[in-house]
Each structure stands twice: as structure tokens, then as C-alpha cells.
Amino acid sequence: MKQARVFSGIQPTGAIHIGNYVGAVRNWVRMTERFECFYCIVDLHAITIPYEGPEMPARVYEAALDILAAGLDPEKCVFFVQSYVPEHTELCWYFNTLASVGALERMTQFKEKSEQFRENVNVGLFDYPVLQAADILLYKAGVVPVGEDQLQHLELSREIARRFNGRFGDTFPEPKPELTPAARVMALNEPTRKMSKSLTGSFISLSESEKEIRKKIGRAVTDSGPQAEGEKSPGVKNLFTLLAAFAPAETVEYFEQQYQAGTLRYGELKPAVADAVVAELNPIRERREQLAGKPGDVWEILDAGAARARAVAAQTIVEVRERMGLRR
């Protein structure tokens, strides 16, 4: 029987990368077997940094294609676009009255993004984690499959749920993160930083060709200065993370033994990582090509998902309004 509700979101950045995939999206797919799941393309979060309006529909579409190609079955979950469900922004406003400015100022992502986009430190960027709390709690989700970089935002979601419950009565669960062993994949070209769409050369996207995948892994940085005794360098550690995420356990064990024995050769490790990544991404790329032939289907899936999401969202909003005294 399906138990707790699950919610997670992803920004439409244009192309989903293997960090998003092994850190979150692959887990989304698996969780549909055990839970009632809501998965969302968060376009309202994406507009907090500079963007071009006319490009947004294509970005949303590409994200949806990637996720469906990665194996998400829209019959087994509710898959939709955030802005199609206006209750997200409504709940965000209510939560704004419970979130403290101090807590938002401490958010690492806000600090980083306001450094990166100094010309455009807008209120939406500041409020971003409150909208995220609204996303999750609108569906009363208790489990949130994410990568490590979202833990601080989730802590705030829990705090908001606690505050609301304390003030207006028990309404929301305190959502817990669900991490995978690859919850933090690092940049291939700069392994002390996170793999990210905004860091050029750092990522492999889900639809990358086999040739590109091999080239990027072949060039991945392995040596980055002296390490403490018995510690893998960040680049080597990252290759092992990818190996563990994509290859069978025996392969990981073989290379671990090589490493322990001091006989590890990057010339052998890198092709093994590339083989494993290619083996998993090839069928995803093929499914993507099939789906891309029928764009109408993808939009239909998202519309149907939004309708199902709204039915649940509307119930929560009625309850919240009542509890907050916003009804006669």
C-alpha cells in the first residue's frame, strides 16, 4: 500500500544533468512504487534569476522530456508545472507571515545567488525558500527526495510547518529529506565545486551523446594538489561516486581494491565510469527522441497533472484559510 506523500521539484534549467539524476530524479522514479508522489517543474523559482520570457516554455518542455525519458510514469504520480497551480503562490504568502527575515538571510543559496546576480537581488530570490516550503506543504508531503544542496531549504520548511502547527493547530507534517548515496555530485572540471548547469564544463546532461560523455569523463580532473594520507583527491572521489551510482557493485569493489593496493590507473577507471554512464543514459536518450516526436503528448501530461494537483491543493488552501481566520 502507498503511504506517506512525496513531493519534489526541479528547476527548468534547459537540460537536466547526471547530478540531478542520481541525486534526485532517479529516486523520484523509484519512489512512485511505494508512495503517492507529486513532482513539479518549478518555473516560479526559475524566474528569480535573470531569464528570457520567450525561452521559458521550451525550458519547461525540455525538463519534462528529460524526466519522462528518465522513466517517470505520469500514471503513477502527479507530474506538473508549478505556475499552473496558483495555490503555490497563495500558500507562499501565508507562510511569508511566519518565516523570519533572519532565517532567510542565512540561506546559503540566497547568499551565493545574490553574489552572482548583484544587479538583480530581487525579493523573489530572497523569498525562494518560502515558496519551496509552500510547494511541499500544499500537498502535506512528509518525504522529499533531493540532493544535499537542498537540506537547508528543507530545514526551513520544517520550521514553517512547526510554526504553523503551533499557532493554528496541527495541519502539516514536518517534511524529511530522502537522500541518495550520490546526493552531491561534483563538477567534472572543478571537483571541489558542485556539478551545476551554471558551471560551464562541469556537467553531463541526460541527453548527451556517447562521444561527449566519454570525452567529458576522459577529461575529468583527478589530481588537485596533495591530499591527507589515505584520502582520495576530490576528483577521484567524484569518479568513485559516479561509478557507485552507475556501475554494478563488483566493478566498484574491483576499483576500490585497486585504489587500496595503490595500483589504481585512471586510464582504466575513467573508461569504466564512462561505460557505466553510457549504458544507463543510452536508453534514456532513445526514449527522449521518441517522446520529442510528439510534443502534444508532453503538454497533455503536464495539463492533466496540474488538474490533479489543483484538486489536492485547493483542499489544503481551504483548510489553511479557515485556520488562519481568513473566512467568515
Residues interacting with ligand TYM, by CB under 6 A? 7-11, 19-20, 23-24, 42, 45, 132, 135-136, 144, 146-147, 149-150, 153, 183-185, 194-195
Which is nearer to ligand TYM, 132 or 316 (by Cβ)? 132
Which is nearer to ligand TYM, 74 or 177 (by Cβ)? 177
What b/e sequence results for 174-201 when a residue is b if at least 16 CB atoms lie within 10 Å of its CB, and e otherwise?
Answer: ebebbbbebbbbbbbbbbeebbbbeeee
To the nearest whole angstrom, how small is the minimum distance from the Cβ of residue 224 to ligand TYM? Answer: 17
**Is 194 part of the annotated catalytic residue set?**
yes
**Is 113 part of the annotated catalytic residue set?**
yes
User: Which residue among 140, 194, 216, 270 is the active-site one?
Assistant: 194
To the nearest whole angstrom, how small is the minimum distance from the Cβ of residue 11 to ligand TYM? Answer: 3
194, 19 contact by CB (below 8 A) = yes
User: Which residue among 76, 140, 176, 197 is the active-site one?
Assistant: 197
Which is nearer to ligand TYM, 28 or 264 (by Cβ)? 28
To the nearest whole angstrom, how small is the minimum distance from the Cβ of residue 221 to ligand TYM? Answer: 15
Q: How many Cα neighbours within 13 Å face the side chain of 201?
A: 7
Cell numbers of 151, please? 537540506
3-state secondary structure of 39: strand
**Is 216 part of the annotated catalytic residue set?**
no
173, 316 contact by CB (below 8 A) = no
Which is nearer to ligand TYM, 224 or 257 (by Cβ)? 224
3-state secondary structure of 194: strand
Compute the distance between CA of residue 251 and CA of residue 315 in angstroms, rounded to an integer.
Answer: 49
Residue 257, judged by CB atoms within 10 A of its CB (0-12, 13-18, 19+), counts as: exposed
Which is nearer to ligand TYM, 160 or 185 (by Cβ)? 185
Residue nearest to ligand TYM (CB): 23
71, 292 contact by CB (below 8 A) = no
To the nearest whole angstrom, how small is the minimum distance from the Cβ of residue 13 to ligand TYM? Answer: 6
To the nearest whole angstrom, how small is the minimum distance from the Cβ of residue 39 to ligand TYM? Answer: 9
Cell numbers of 71, please? 522513466
The set of catalytic residues is 113, 194, 197
